[in-house]
Structure 1
């Protein structure tokens, strides 16, 4: 709003300035505010595109329109006192939402859910009211594409287990600088992938020759870890940490103990079937002894006849 005040004119012609009083107002239109700069958000997250005014508007005939600046694609529309989701383009259906309870207070911001790479770009918020109209532009400058996910696993002593770790498919393997698997208890390095190759010699001694990646799956963003001959002490929390393009992300996997391995259970059943309680004791001893082969031979020799 610009205010002009002419003192000389007032002194020379005071009677003629009564209607003007002292002020001459020149309107600039409705001022619509947006964020102070471009937005950066992770892939799959929700982001709020700010759009608001600092004055109360008459709700009657109020219309707010969000469009993609580059294509004029309609992202969302508020009209006749309510949101109009049926007017949205398909790619924004169920993803773009007004804060409807805030519109009466001049807040026309938009929440965009499940952010996609193609959502990068400029968005225009146009506000039309009885008094005036105005607009602001919001830019989603960069969608961080690095997402890492995993899932918990159960282990059986003596068997192999797979700890899952998947990197979002927008990141190509050549852009992944490093993937490290660590056991969080004591920050023990289980396996390291760096410069497009696995470095098994970097593994802590207790995991050397027991940890490996699925090489054929790496181009698909699959950095799951196969841990061979699982031991009781392997139980715990493991972290898959990924570095790519100056970004980092991680996923944790909890390895829980399920019980005896299948081979242990089969030996136990065999012992029960063969000779009853005596062999059962022998088999339990077998399950706990480091000399399993010798013990089972002794058991079968002693109680088989």
Structure 2
């Protein structure tokens, strides 16, 4: 029995020690867990986390408001349109409910009043005459918040006005909102080389125009402005166009029905270069359409290698010339290169530098054999030659009045640079 008690003693003591160890170990883990839990989420960290969450929410709300009300924060809204279109929309919208007594005013950069809306109606008497009958705003604009302006028949002059501003005033005259729109009107540009048969100045618009519509093409630059072609009362009016363009212009049939108001200019000259404007007016003088076209007629150039036997300086015309005309080629130093008159070459009037170097053909083109010229440096031997048609004719719209009747046409020149002017004069001589 003593052995059994001795055997049980150590076992019981061992269990007691084991239980104590387990208790102490569990308590330590609990205390350790509590300590880590307390250190992982202190109060200052919780406060910082809350602040970060609030900041993120604030940024999201602010970003949403910026997107929603972006028209208030954009400095300038840009709109591009081609010259000659029927209308362009200058946008301006708001989601804020506006009072019924507000005043909506559109102005340009010169503070001209483009359109004024107040008391549920348009205030036409406050509008600048340049924009009269050319603007329109939508109905119920205060309820919908759509304050956009429709500008009819935009032109390059509207491009010069460029920045348009929509301003909303309350009854006391205080500004409730303001928005700017920048309008860019693209002008059509046409380039062609002198000597082609014709060139077209394009203008296509909506068809079915009134039968009493007047279409007038003018060249406004360089000044003075001149009538190039006029369509009125259902037909062309050649008596109302400048004589320089007589028999050189043409428009398509049924142009009012099709809306194709393009102008064909035959035998374009360098002096035809300029700014052309087509205006479409109603019988009461109202401005229906308008388009601007920039025409650039380039000088025809001829390049040739030094030492070749000859070079052809081309110049052709479609106009039938009288038999008494005098055809004269000169260089840039006004020396006579070749003279043709009365079915023969006038070698006696020719400068000695060009004696035996030229040969006239059926067409008024010149064949020149390049040769040394001791009077000028080698780098200047490539010349501009000028063709002068001497016949009866009218005056070019660009020329100043002179004693002799004449009309300047552009001649083709080989090499060099610059424009080759020519003159058309009466040179009948004695009978």
TM-score range, shorter chain: 0.3 to 0.5
Higher relative contact order (CA 8 A, sep 6+): 1
Rg comparison, structure with higher value: 2
Higher strand share: 1
Give the TM-score taking structure 2 as reference length. Answer: 0.33
